[in-house]
């Protein structure tokens, strides 16, 4: 039996950021991660490009992670445009209307993971249990206890679950979640192209598919294609030349011929929202609390925001010699993070339904919605501020 103040299950971005947020607090931390140590230290590319808001960049700076990124891996996101069907009309966010040089920054997910690992490596008071899985969870008013796959048991005053949107620890804590399996898959693939994207991201809801282009440095973009799972299997299996031609065709050649520079990665689309973000001596952060659809590019930012909220409350309690897992503290965290995430999560669900349903009433409604939003500066300004989050 080993005693800690906090056990974090999940060494992904949210879990590592939370551990780093508690650096210098005097708390003893354990991070349990199923991946081996070498996979944490040098993650392989997973194809995902993260659109970081200004607030998220500031958070990574405070965690000593931002400076560890290679500037060549950071691409400016200057504006975003939304298209529907064959219409040339586009709803634009950012650019001159934002009053800022950019909406945010695009950074490869695996680079952020590596930077966060480097930030926590050797951190005083932190023990990393890599290559271990949690086999049992128990909590009561006095402590939380987890059993590991190697036979060890750990106890702590607070257990923090950050082990994916289909979290095993969340289930073991008895916390239910709204799980929306959308029956679609997302393929991400880096491509080079002839045209200049100008730092503008596009989201195009066309008939039968959704395709987005995230602008990277140079004449390169991350193509993000969403299709029913069965159709996606066929496309992802294409040879590079044929895959490039398929992406070019689906994007109607707007950036010229596209050529893949990396193998595609495919992910099933699942949205989740936990019924509660806290339980007795336990809290949920990251995708374990809120698993967003990528259409709003906000899931990662919510993960950083949530861990920062919880870490601030825990640090304040520790500094005052109070219980770091007091029911009132955990309720404050839950209320704060729910207010920050629920509106956009609900709006995203409606957006996904509106722009993926091919029945005529929905096709008419989505075009009308884009046109209406374009004539409502307050709506566009609100969305832009949300995307930027200074």
- The CATH class, in words, for 2-76+105-179+271-364 is alpha beta
Give CA–CA dist 285/52, Å, rounded: 18
Query: What is residue 385's predicted lDDT score, i.e. its pLDDT?
Result: 46
Pairing mode, if any, of strands 104-108 and 75-77? antiparallel
Task: Output the tens digit of pLDDT for each of the chain's 390 residues.
Answer: 679 999 999 999 999 999 999 999 999 999 999 999 999 999 999 999 999 999 999 999 999 999 999 999 999 999 988 877 555 655 666 655 444 577 899 999 999 999 999 999 999 999 999 999 999 999 999 999 999 999 999 999 999 999 999 999 999 999 999 999 988 899 999 999 999 999 999 988 777 788 999 999 999 999 999 999 889 999 999 999 999 999 999 999 999 999 999 999 999 999 999 999 999 999 999 999 999 988 766 889 999 999 999 999 999 999 999 999 999 999 999 999 999 999 988 888 776 665 565 555 545 555 555 445 444 443 444 444 445 454
To the nearest 10°, report the CA torsion of 277, 282, 287, 291: -30
Query: What is residue 182's predicted lDDT score, i.e. its pLDDT?
Result: 85
Cα 368 to Cα 35, 91, 184, 202, 345: the distances in Å are 47, 11, 25, 19, 22
Task: Confirm if 209 and 225 have CB atoms less than 8 A apart.
Answer: yes
Query: What is residue 357's predicted lDDT score, i.e. its pLDDT?
Result: 54
Query: What is residue 114's predicted lDDT score, i.e. its pLDDT?
Result: 98
**E-assigned strands of 164-320?**
177-193, 200-206, 209-215, 220-228, 258-260, 265-274, 278-279, 282-284, 290-291
Three-state SS at 289 = coil
Say which DSSP state 200 is in: E
Residue 278, judged by CB atoms within 10 A of its CB (0-12, 13-18, 19+), counts as buried
Query: What is residue 359's predicted lDDT score, i.e. its pLDDT?
Result: 57
Tell me the torsion sign for CA atoms 123, 125, 126, 132: positive
Say which DSSP state 238 is in: S
């Amino acid at each position: 039996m080993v005693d800690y103040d906090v056990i974090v299950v999940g060494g992904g971005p949210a879990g590592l950021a939370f551990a780093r947020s508690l650096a210098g607090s005097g708390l003893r931390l354990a991070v349990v991660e199923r991946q081996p140590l070498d996979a944490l230290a040098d993650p392989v590319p997973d194809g995902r490009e993260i659109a970081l808001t200004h607030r998220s960049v500031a958070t990574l700076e405070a965690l000593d992670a931002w400076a560890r990124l290679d500037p060549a891996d950071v691409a400016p996101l200057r504006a975003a445009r939304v298209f529907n069907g064959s219409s040339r009309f586009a709803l634009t966010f950012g650019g001159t209307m934002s009053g800022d040089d950019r909406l945010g920054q695009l950074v490869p997910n695996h680079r952020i993971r590596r930077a966060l690992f480097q930030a926590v490596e050797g951190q005083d008071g932190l023990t990393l249990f890599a290559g271990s899985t949690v086999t049992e969870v128990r909590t009561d008013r006095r402590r939380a206890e987890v059993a590991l796959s190697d036979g060890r048991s750990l106890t702590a005053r607070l257990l923090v679950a950050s082990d994916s949107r289909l979290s095993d620890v969340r289930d073991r804590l008895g916390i239910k979640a709204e799980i929306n399996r959308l029956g679609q898959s997302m393929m991400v693939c880096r491509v080079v192209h002839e045209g200049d994207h100008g730092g503008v991201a596009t989201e195009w809801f066309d008939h039968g598919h959704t395709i987005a282009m995230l602008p990277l440095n140079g004449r390169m973009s991350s193509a993000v294609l969403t299709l029913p799972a069965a159709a996606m299997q066929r496309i992802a299996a294409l040879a590079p030349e044929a895959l490039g031609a398929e992406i070019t065709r689906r994007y109607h050649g707007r950036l010229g011929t596209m050529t893949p520079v990396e193998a595609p990665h495919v992910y099933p689309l699942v949205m989740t929202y936990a019924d509660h973000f806290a339980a007795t001596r336990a809290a949920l952060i990251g995708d374990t609390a809120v698993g967003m659809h990528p259409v709003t590019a906000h899931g990662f930012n919510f993960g950083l925001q949530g861990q920062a909220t919880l870490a601030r409350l825990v640090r304040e309690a520790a500094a005052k010699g109070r219980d770091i897992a007091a029911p009132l503290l955990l309720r404050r965290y839950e209320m704060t993070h729910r207010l920050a995430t629920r509106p956009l999560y609900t709006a995203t669900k409606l957006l996904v339904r509106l722009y993926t349903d091919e029945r005529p009433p929905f096709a008419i409604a989505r075009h009308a919605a884009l046109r209406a939003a374009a004539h409502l500066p307050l709506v566009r300004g609100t969305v832009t501020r949300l995307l930027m989050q200074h």
